[in-house]
Structure 1
Amino acid sequence: MKEPKQRSDQWQQRARKFLEASRTKVNHFSQKAKAKLQRIFHVPSNPSRSQQTKAQKKDYIQSLSQSSWLFKINVGLAAIKSIILYGISIGLILFALVAGIGSGYFAALMKSETIPSYQVLKQQLDNTDQAAGLYFDQNVKFGSIKTDLVRTPVKIDQMSPYLTDAIVATEDEDFYQHSGVVPKALLRAVISEVTGFGSQTGGSTLTQQLIKMQVLTSQVTFKRKATEVLLALRVDKYFTKKEILQDYLNVATLGRNNKGQNIAGVQEAALGLFGKNAKDLSLAEAAFIAGLPQSPSVYTPYDQDGTLKDPEYLKYGLDRKDTVLFRMYRDHRITNAEYKAAKKVDLTSEFQAKTEPESTSKRYGYVYNLLESQATDIMTKQLAKEANISTQKLNSDNTLYQQYQTQATELLSTKGYQIHSTINKDIYDSMQNIVKEQSSTFGYTYTDTETDAVTGLQQQVSSPVQNGSVLLDNQTGKIISFVGGRDFSLKQTNYMLTKRSPGSTIKPLLVYGPAIDQKLIGSKTMLADFKTNFKTYAPTDYGGTIQNKFIPADTALAQSLNIPTVNLYNELRKTSDPSKYMSKMGLNLPATDYNQLGLALGGTSDGVSVLDQASAFSTFADQGQHVDAYVIDKITDPAGNVVYQHKSQKTKVFSKATSYIMNQMLSGVLTDGTASTLSDQLYFNTNNLVGKTGTSNDNRDIWFIGSTPGITLASWMGYDSTGRNLTDSASSINEQYWAKLANSVYQLDPDSMKLEADRTKPSTVISSKVLKLTGQLPGSVSLNGNTKALDGTTTTSLYNNWTPPATTYEFGIGGSTKNYETFWNHYLGYNNGYGSITYSTADELDPTADNKTTTSTNNSTSD
């Protein structure tokens, strides 16, 4: 092994050799560099000192000075060249990166888009019946969305050649050269969109405009634009330029005609502006029409009522005509002489004089209005959702809602959609015939004097008893049929949707159902019906009567007694919140209403609609589950693709046990309650029929709602004016009318009623034998110092998964100490007036009850 000193010497020798070699290489490199620089700048080699002269020294010094400046300049130029090359390289890389990202984004947007076939595209592009079609159930069409857009398609051979030349020269001068899109125009439009600079309208060819008008919406999103480009390329591949141009000229919107109607297509423009066919247009007339698509509302010569605009506004369209003529001349489509001659033509004298449009009448007016309103709302929310705007934000911002509502209206009136409803045509027709036949029995028709909103003149109008009815499917919520009013031509108000006092139809929903669900009562729990006063509120039963006894809950509901119901509601509010039940059933009343005891009898500040009340009532028929009512099943585009499909969602409101018990209690309304005469008028088995009557103060509102396991049918009657009342026989009249409606449903579609369906008793329903006197189990009570064992006649009471206690002294809900004393003394044999009906005098009733609204119901009952 070598010594450490020897190893150290060896490392030092190696280091010296490495340094000498490095120095030699550096010197060699320096000599080569020096020689290269001399060649570049033409610098002579350094002469020997013996041969140098003073002149040579001077020249040498000047040469070195010049070479120094030249060196610096060349280095600078080389640096600039490198920077430019690097910039170009980086630019190309960034362009490739952006192009790649853009292509990927485009591909991602288009990934879920289905590529339409030739047949589908042809159907969409050729479709000139653009208003949305309206359908009953089972695809039965009855009309289209009303639109004043008038359109008459013609073949391109029936159009003036001036028209086709003018529209191409003005809207798309490269139409015959491009393949549906113009890349440079698209790039310009994208840059403008991203940066905010430049024109905001560039980029659309005639082909793209046709796609936007016939296939897509006008909503400005990258996805819609990308879809537009894709479809434009496909259209250009499938169709000839002549076919594309023909479709465009037949569907382009072109302002208004002399009737004030919106017009589309050159044929209607030619007729409505100049009174001639499209093939007969002159050069000046064709140029005027070709200038309209850019801004139809500005350039059109007519106002909304069909009158000719003032000259100062008419000038815009005439100037636009001259612009079109110039572009035709510039594009070599007309000669200079034709251009000058057409500019001189005074079109003002050729415009048609104002005329009135033909009057049209709506068939199925109530259905039409309902579907149009619902479809517009659906599409408004759908368009907002596509723009990432939440429904909550949309509903809270009225301006924003109107913006998307306008888009939705345009979509439904111009894109050829189909709106499919749930309405059964046969049942609907039958119900309209029944209301027409029976309406004369509803009540007296008043004659009122009103001021015409248009003319300002006084006119006489009829004010009959109106009716709103609705038939619902309990399990799905679909509206099978309805009655909007007595006569659409007389009054267009849909009374199925107007809000009125629900009267006693609110009792099972607000009071009895929640009380059973909260285990507060069973079906035979005793409720007090004695004279009572809740500070400023003193309810009575119908007609100002008081029963002066304790009454079982099912009897109180069947006979629609008020005082027991108010006592129960007062007790219910102490331990639970009834508003939660109501909101789950779609009944969203103001919070202040729930603080008023009169709400238990129908005293609401705003009222409820027939549709909402019927929908809530159907909850009991579907085992305590509520599903919102709906009338539009789906909306499809012209190709049949579903753009909206209703999806029912159920909300659990009551337990199955509660629903079963409520159905048992509500059946008593028809067997021995306020609607006991109804069953005799029906053609079908009523064993599974339940219902509830309702009457607001002074017979202003009359109701009956009935349910079978399959359907719920509700009927309301009343006057428009809340100051007018129906007679005491109105409830019977309404039940007779309801019976005729129900019979027609049974005759046309008996299966929908599910009359034979069993209401299976859930295992959570507890049946207990309770004393008829107390509604509780037998027990013992101390009376006058003596303990008395209670027994006697029993009855079956149903409970929501609980059992009642043994009878105590205060066994019921409501009632004062004096009321219980009266009861027990009567039990012991005293004749003290217990159970004798009395009447409250007028001065005992407080007219300023705790519901001080037009729909308040101090003593409202269902009969």
Structure 2
Amino acid sequence: MSKRDPWWERIFKNFKNRFLDTSEPIGVHAQKQKHPKQNHFIDNKQPQPQKYAVVNKEDLPTTLAGKINLTIGVIRKLILSAIVGFILLMGLGLGLATGYFCAIIKQEPIQSNTSLRNQIEKVDQSTTLYFAHNVKMERVPSDIRRQKVAFNQISPNLKKAVVATEDENFYRHHGVVPKSIFRAIISEITGFGTQTGGSTLTQQLVKMQLLSSETTWKRKATEILLATRLEKHFTKDQILESYLNVAPMGRNNRGQNIAGVQTAAQGIFNTNANNLTLAQAAFIAGLPQSPSVYTPYDDEGRVSPNIALGLRRKNVVLFRMYRNNDITKSQYQAAKKVDLRSQFAAHQPAPKTKIKYGYLYNLLTEQLQTHLIKQLAKEDNVKYADVIKDKDVYQAYSQRANRLMREHDYQVHSTIDKNIYDNMQSAFQQNANLLGTVHQSTATDPNTGKIVQVKEPVQNGSVLIDNHTGAVLGFVGGQDFQENQLNHAFDTQRSPGSSIKPMLVYAPAVEQGLIGSKTMLADFKAKFKKYAPTDFDNTIANKFVPADKALEQSLNIPAVNLYRQLQKSTNPKPYMDKMGLKLSNQEYQELGIALGGTRNGFTVAQAASAFSTFANQGVHVTPYYIDKITDVNHHVIYKHPTKKQRVFQPGTSYIMQKMMHSVITEGTASSLTYQLNFNYKNTFGKTGTSNDFRDNWFIGSTPGVTLASWIGYDNLYGHNYNLADDSTETNQSLWANLINSVYQVNPQILQADQKMAQPTTVNEQKVLTETGTLPGSTVYEGYKTYLSSPTSTSLFYKTHAKPLSKHFGIGGKDSNYKLFWDHYFGKINGYGVTNYLSDKTNKSSHRNGIGYGQSFTSNSIFGNYSGTVWDNNSQSSTNSESNNSYTNSTTSGFGGNNGNGYNNYPSTTTPNTPAVTTPSGGITSENTTATANESTTTATATGGSTAP
């Protein structure tokens, strides 16, 4: 007996016999005639050709029937080829799918029974927020209300209704139905048919409880894998119980989204799940397919005017129960007639949710929402940049992201230290009432149009950053979250005032070798086209000031002169960009930018981060407050990428630290010396005040952390409130209390005793105190003079001090240098006498080094100096010396104050001369923002507070 042909050959032969084989020769059909007595064809002209004979082109049929026959033959061959090709493609696709599925199985970690049980039975499905070190903060209020109920406390009719409606083969399959999956795949690939997803109840449970929201083939494969695992480790009743506790059910009578049969029974029919009638059970069982369509309530908890769809869906469920033999025909007909309208629960108001950590809660959830929007856009093959350009598109994605955040168990791990954060809030509240006047006024409510009473207190934004990692450890967002949800630490941009000077002006100048710490800067009346800056209170010092003292006392004119010179040698933009401080090219062209005259300003977080660069030896670390985000399976879906970038060399940072340390010990922040609870010998900082005391800043760093504090009014209702004149002292007291609160929690985090070692690139040189240059000779009125003392130590990055010359400083005119040299050699000419460019002749409110608002006259202290004068025609010399003599002249120095009313810097007042009465100088001031444009504005840039 011959061996039987393989099955595929039998199929092919059968197909060929039925559709392709004929007893007719191709191309000669038109020449045949039927014999009248025989049931076959004969050829009158030639012998019958062999079957499938090759025919010449000229022998092709010319009749219509022949053409049709030829076309059908070609079509049959194409169909056969298509079928064979489809079978091959399906085989290839099946192989690839099998391999892909096996790869997923290999990658998916095997979870324990306990882990799976905890996940499928979990009813609290919303994002959880964490402090640093995995300390739980609070859960995002879920949009879905759930209440767990035991399996035996659920109506049998409800169980049967859900199974008959959602998965009638539930008790017969093993988690998946292959034909349903195959149908879903074909539908997905071709786009034809109903895209049901082929999901069983088990798969739906996996989708809701174990997986994220991404709609990918990988997620679908993982879903199938986990569904089979659930079926292996849990009974059908356990799986059904979990499903009934988490299935979406629309809205309740409070307008809340609900899930689970117990929540639905209470929120829709005001009863429990075990007391539901057949009609009620059928109504609830019909909700999961499309909760938003079939729910009887609107978003306010009132019965919708059109609930016909939900009632019809109830009847469909009843029919399926009847078809499945779960109820009798009489039960089916009786339940169909029940009108549930009167049984719906009455409307009730929704309870209000209270958020404890309001500012932090909003900060973290907004960041999570942004990440989810990016993820959703990526899944949709849409660029995030395009999403944020279109308001409607962005709103749609925001709603989707918000829903994911409230319906899925994400975990957001922040960098905020709970103890530090709590202590900072307490410290702020102790100072909140001392920040300034709370203004009461009336305004129009934009939502209602009604006139309402409003109050505007002085707001604060403070940010504490780890210098080495960029992690935000704590912050203060504002006065009262319940009154004002605006986060003043991260979301408001304010003018930086003088706090911009170290980053924009002095550090780049040191880095470029333009200045050393004792390089002289001109502080004389100057006008650059239409821009005429002044120091605080419209004053001009009329002298040359060392760079470190100019920064210490936050003088404006020296900063503008230095920035103007800096522009000639370098572009400060790259430095600012690397620190995260973005300014326009136009802003860089305006000299007022040297005093903080920005268009938009910076956030407190940006300022703190930029300033921390100096404490981190010139390396800027990108700030962040979210360490990682994980999904429901604890897979990391976001991890902060640490980004470090060198801005300044260590030598520059060392010099800047030294220069700004004196801001605390002798300068505009000297009041901190008696308020700090820790050793501040390695602490440095910078003050900042904008025009008319609109904004006040203090940014300070220890070796470990940087804390920035800003105070000011929001002026949300069109008012023009400014801070009080003593706002500098007020803000510094607040800063001191905040940093002390951090020290109380964790003293080590400040690293207060860690001193930065002096880099080898820093050169120390003795320079003339009066000129900032090397000792040397000069010619005055025909006499050659050698200057050798007094001297001071100047710090340079790589470069060295310049030789003595007539024009030894930066800025100033020839007349200013002549004024200096005349004064140096004994003439009384007004050098160093402060000028006031205002109508007031008597200043009565200048701050001394202790912070009191009083005018005072200090005794000038003269340092030792000696000079040798040579006559060009003689070798003889005369020496003159002054030994710390005290005079009763008013101070004409630039105001370095030691806190007791004495000027630490050698005065330029000539000894043994009559005292020159001048307006009391005290401490010179810190500047405010110069919003003026150099070429278009005539207003001068005023200075900020000199108060410590």
TM-score, scaled relative to structure 1: 0.87
Distance 1:676 1:86, change over 3 A: closer
1:287 corresponds to: 282
Cα distance in 2 for partners of 1:353, 1:812 equals 83
CA contact (8 A) 2:427 2:738 kept: yes
Structure 1 residue 760: Cα displacement: 0.6
Distance 2:314 2:47 in 1: 69
Which residue pairs with 2:613 in the alignment? 619
The answer as to whether partners of 2:532 and 2:940 remain within 8 angstroms in 1 is no
**What is the number of equivalent residue pairs in this alignment?**
807
Distance in 2, Cα, partners of 1:158 & 1:593: 70
Could you tell me which of 694, 711, 725 is aligned with 1:700?
694
Instruction: Give 2:352's match in structure 1, choosing from 348, 359, 368.
Output: 359
Alignment of 1:731 with 2:728, yes or no, is yes
1:460 to 447, 450, 453: 453
In structure 1, the partner of 2:475 is: 482
Deviations 1:350-378 (A, max 9, x none): 22222112233221222222221222223
Aligned to 1:632: 626
**Which position in structure 1 is the counterpart of 2:542?**
548
2:381 corresponds to 1:298: no
Q: 1:304 to 1:590 in 2, by over 3 A?
A: farther
1-structure distance, mates of 2:318, 2:349: 32
2:941 to 825, 839, 858: 858
Contact 1:701 1:718 in 2 (8 A): yes
Does 1:515 pair with 2:513? no
| Secondary structure in 1 matching 2:170 | coil
CA-to-aligned-CA distance 1:358-412 (integer Å, 9 cap, x gap): 2332212222222212222234335555667666566556666555544443333
Secondary structure (helix, strand or coil) at the match of 1:294 reads coil
- Relative distance call for 1:218 and 1:511 in structure 2 (3 A) is same
- The residue that corresponds to 1:101 in the other structure is 96
- In the TM superposition, 1:47-58 aligns within 5 A as none
2:763 maps to 1:680: no
Q: Which stretch of structure 1 is more off in the superposition, 624-633 or 91-100?
A: 91-100
Which deviations, in whole Å up to 9, do the C-alpha atoms of 1:657-706 show, x marking residues without a partner? Answer: 11111100110101110011211111111101101111111112111111
Q: Which of 123, 131, 144 is equivalent to 1:136?
A: 131
Question: Is residue 504 of structure 1 aligned with residue 471 of structure 2?
Answer: no
Which residue identity lines up with residue 739 of structure 1 in the other structure?
A
Equivalent in the alignment of 1:23: none
Checking the alignment, whether the CA contact within 8 Å between 2:157 and 2:281 is kept in structure 1 is yes
Question: Do the aligned residues in 1 keep the contact of 2:525 with 2:540 (CA within 8 Å)?
Answer: yes
Cα displacement (A) at 1:612: 1.2
Q: Deviations over 1:69-97 (max 9, x none)?
A: 89759999999999988776554433322
Counterpart selection for 1:764 from 747, 761, 765: 761
CA RMSD between the two structures: 3.3
Q: What is the SS of the residue equivalent to 1:328? A: helix
The 8 Å contact of residues 371 and 421 in structure 1, kept in 2 or not, is answered as yes
Identify which of 357, 362, 368 aligns with 2:361. Answer: 368
Q: Residue 643 of structure 1 corresponds to which residue in structure 2?
A: 637
Answer yes or no: is the 8 Å Cα contact 1:625–1:652 preserved in 2. yes
Q: 1:628 and 1:860, CA in 2 relative to 1: closer, same or farther beyond 3 A?
A: farther
What amino acid is the match of 1:118? Answer: N
Mark the runs of 5 or more structure 1 residues left unpaired by the alignment: 1-39, 42-55
Structure 1 match to 2:522? 528
**1:799 aligned to 2:796?**
yes
Using a 3 Å threshold, how does the CA distance of structure 1 residues 416 and 847 change in structure 2: closer, same or farther? closer
- The DSSP-based 3-state class of the residue aligned with 1:276 is coil
Are 1:823 and 1:834, in contact at CA under 8 Å, matched by a contact in 2? yes
Query: Separation in 1 of the partners of 2:506 and 2:471?
Result: 26
Equivalent position of 1:174 in the other structure:
169
**Corresponding residue for residue 777 of structure 1:** 774
Residues 226-235 or 562-571, more deviating: 226-235
Structure 1 CA distance for aligned equivalents of residues 630 and 561 of structure 2 = 52
- One of 317, 332, 340 as aligned partner of 2:310: 317
How far apart in 2 are the matches of 1:83 and 1:536? 86
| Alignment match, 1:224 | 219
Mapped partners of 1:458, 1:851: distance in 2: 42
In structure 1, distance between residues paired with 2:213 and 2:49: 64
Instruction: Answer yes or no: is the 8 Å Cα contact 1:697–1:857 preserved in 2.
Output: no
2:820 maps to which of 820, 823, 839: 823
1:427-466 to structure 2, matched below 5 A, reads 427-452=420-445, 455-466=448-459
1:327 to 320, 323, 326: 320
Distance change >3 Å, CA 580–CA 112, structure 1 → 2? farther
The separation in 2 between residues aligned to 1:825 and 1:155, in whole angstroms, is: 98
Question: Is 1:753–2:750 an aligned residue pair?
Answer: yes
1:138-217 map, 5 Å: 138-217=133-212
Whole-angstrom distance in 1 between the partners of 2:425 and 2:217: 48
In structure 1, distance between residues paired with 2:688 and 2:295: 57
| 8 Å Cα contact 1:536/1:849 also seen in 2 | no
The Cα offsets for residues 513-555 of structure 1, whole Å up to 9 and x where unpaired, read as 1111222211111111111112222111111111111111110
Q: Does the CA contact (< 8 Å) of 2:522 and 2:557 recur in 1? A: yes
Residue 685 of structure 2 is matched in structure 1 by 691
Task: Give the aligned residue type for 1:412.
Answer: M
TM-score by length of 2: 0.79
Partner of 1:16: none
Q: Is contact 1:424–1:481 with CA below 8 Å preserved after alignment? A: yes
Helix, strand or coil for the counterpart of 1:500?
A: coil
> Quick one: distance in 2 between partners of 1:140 and 1:407?
28
Cα distance, 1:789 vs. partner? 3.9
1:821 maps to amino acid: K
1:543-599 CA distance string (max 9 Å, x none): 111111111111000100111111111222222222221221112233332222222
1:850 partner letter = N
Q: Quick one: which amino acid aligns to residue 665 of structure 1?
A: M
Unmatched tracts of structure 2, length 5 or more: 1-21, 24-34, 55-68, 841-927
Q: Distance in 1 between matches of 2:435 and 2:318?
A: 68
* Equivalent residue, structure 1, for 2:5: none
For residue 6 of structure 2, what is the aligned residue in structure 1?
A: none
2:707 maps to 1:713? yes
Against the structure 1 CA distance between its residues 80 and 377, is the aligned structure 2 distance closer, same or farther, given a 3 Å change threshold? closer
Q: Which residue of the partner structure matches residue 665 of structure 1?
A: 659
The Cα of 1:828 is off from its aligned counterpart by 3.0
Aligned residues of 2:598 and 2:931 also touching (Cα < 8 A): no
CA contact (8 A) 2:555 2:943 kept: no
Per the alignment, residue 596 of structure 2 pairs with 602
Where does residue 249 of structure 2 map in the other structure? 254
Taking the aligned partners of 1:390 and 1:316, their CA distance within structure 2 comes to 38
Distance 1:449 1:580 in 2: 46
AA in 2 matched with 1:792: S
Amino acid at match of 2:662: G
After superposition, the C-alpha distances for 1:34-63 in whole angstroms (9 at most, x for unaligned) are xxxxxx99xxxxxxxxxxxxxx9x999976
Q: Contact (CA 8 Å) 1:536, 1:846: kept in 2 or not?
A: no
1:426 paired with 2:419, answer yes
In 2, the alpha carbon distance for the partners of 1:801 and 1:587 equals 27
1:495 CA displacement: 1.5
Matched residues, percent identical?
52
In the TM superposition, 1:30-49 aligns within 5 A as none
